[in-house]
Amino acid sequence: MYNSSMGIITGNSLKFGDLFCGPGGLSLGFEQAKGSGFYTKLTPVWSIDNHEDSCNTYKNNLCEQKNVKVYCKDIKTFNLEQLDPIDILAFGFPCNDFSLVGEKLGFKGEYGPLYSYGVKILNLLSPDCFIAENVTGLSSANSGSAFEKIKSDLRNAGYHIWVDQYKFEEFGIPQSRHRIIIVGFKKSLKANFIKLNPTYELVTSGEALNNIPEDASNNEYTKQSSKVVERLKYIKPGRNVWDSELPKRLQLNVKGARLSNIYKRLDPTKPAYTVTGSGGGGTHMYHWRENRALTNRERARLQTFPDDFLFFGPKESVRRQIGMAIPPKFGKILGNRILQTFCSVYEHNKNVCNR
């Protein structure tokens, strides 16, 4: 019988912890994943985040009738020793300082070094596998040195790693969202993780936002000023404030960099542009036909959250939660491959032991 490196066999379920969990997009996707071999499901054990509304969202959607511990704590002061053993660690460490938009501070910023707490948990709990997620700007932060440091630390924790970039729109997610996914398996397992193959299932923003129930939660409209409404009238689907012909009184007087998503309308025939956690200065995301910003439920649809997933907190907090999350649909696809890999390791070790 194959035993994990921690000596834990949990029936047909693999236990995972979710660091920097946000509202629970990855955890939801992992719970939806199904395996066809010895390991058939992924079960959450604990999650950690410092954002109270995100933790409340996680608790109310992912913890009902389950023994899942949600720690709403600052990871910098949190006692890692109290964490229960896990088979898998997931950590989408904060991407603010690695984003291609903004100051690009990398390790020099407030959020860049937070990945190290994932490494500390790997060294402390020694799970068989980890999944780390971040923006593609991670690879170029600090002239590439930050990414090399992160990969080195993960390998030195005892893992063989696979680093791949994915375009989520190629997997049926109705938005253009590009991310780096790092998967690690304990070197002793001799696992072979196979990169996910795109399904090339195209889901447009028009399809994603179709038939939202009138009584759907988190579906409140944002109050638009008359000037914003008038400005939007001049912007066609798929266009933004910079590539549209606006009267001078409606033009933006901005010097320097011009973000392409400022007052940008969706194109209903294509996946949306990237859903983010921001919303000020014309970055709410805008409907292709109606002269308004998207509601949070519409943004959640673009992130593949089901309509019965209720977000907690003020509207601005909910917008932040949605924008920072990993789309559950991609989490499910990734979870399926993780289960497949574990099952392959199990079968290999079982055959070796029976020789």
Q: What would the DSSP string read from start to end of 166-234?
A: EEGGGBT-SB--EEEEEEEEEGGG---PPPPPP--B---HHHHTTT--TT-TT-PPPPPPHHHHHHHTT
The whole-angstrom separation of Cα 47 and Cα 66 is 13
User: Among 3.40.50.80, 3.40.350.10, 3.40.50.150, 3.30.429.10, what is the CATH number of 13-202+327-353?
Assistant: 3.40.50.150
pLDDT of residue 111: 44
Rounded CA separation 137/103 (Å): 12
Tens digit of pLDDT per residue, the chain (355 long)?
234 443 344 458 999 999 999 999 999 999 999 998 899 999 999 999 999 999 999 999 998 767 899 999 999 999 999 999 999 999 987 644 444 444 444 344 444 467 889 999 999 999 999 999 987 877 665 666 778 888 999 999 999 999 999 999 999 999 999 999 999 999 999 999 999 999 999 999 999 999 999 899 999 998 889 999 999 999 999 999 999 999 999 988 877 666 788 999 999 999 999 999 887 778 889 999 999 999 999 999 999 999 999 999 999 999 999 999 999 999 999 999 999 999 999 888 776 544 4
Edge-to-edge strands of the sheet including 88-91?
A: 69-72, 41-49, 13-19, 88-91, 129-135, 178-186, 159-167
* Distance, CA of 189 to CA of 186 (rounded, Å): 6
Q: Would you give the DSSP letter of residue 260?
A: T
CA atoms within 13 A on the CB side of 353: 9
Q: How many other C-beta atoms are found inside a 10 Å radius of the C-beta of residue 291?
A: 15
* Beta carbons within 10 angstroms of residue 64's beta carbon: 8
Closest residue by Cα to residue 46 from 17, 79, 9:
17
Q: How far apart are CA 294 and CA 112, in angstroms?
A: 30
Q: With contact defined as beta carbons under 8 Å apart, do 135 and 102 qualify?
A: no
**324 closest CA partner among 70, 25, 17, 18:** 25
Query: What pLDDT, on the 0 to 100 scale, is given for residue 109?
Result: 45
Give SS3 for 161: strand
Residue indicated by tokens 């390998």? 155
Measured CA to CA, the distance from residue 40 to residue 219 in angstroms comes to: 35
**Residue 233 · residue 291 · CB < 8 Å:** yes
Catalytic residue among 63, 95, 129, 353: 95
| Alpha-carbon 350 to chain mean position | 34
The model's pTM is: 0.90
* Cβ proximity of 265 and 287 under 8 Å: yes
* Catalytic-residue membership of 95: yes
Q: What is the Cβ-side half-sphere exposure of residue 235, based on CA atoms within 13 angstroms?
A: 30
- φ and ψ at residue 246, rounded to 5 degrees: -110, 145
Structure token digits, residue 204: 């447009």
Looking at residue 256, its pLDDT comes to: 62
- For the chain, which residues make up each domain, given as ranges? 13-202+327-353
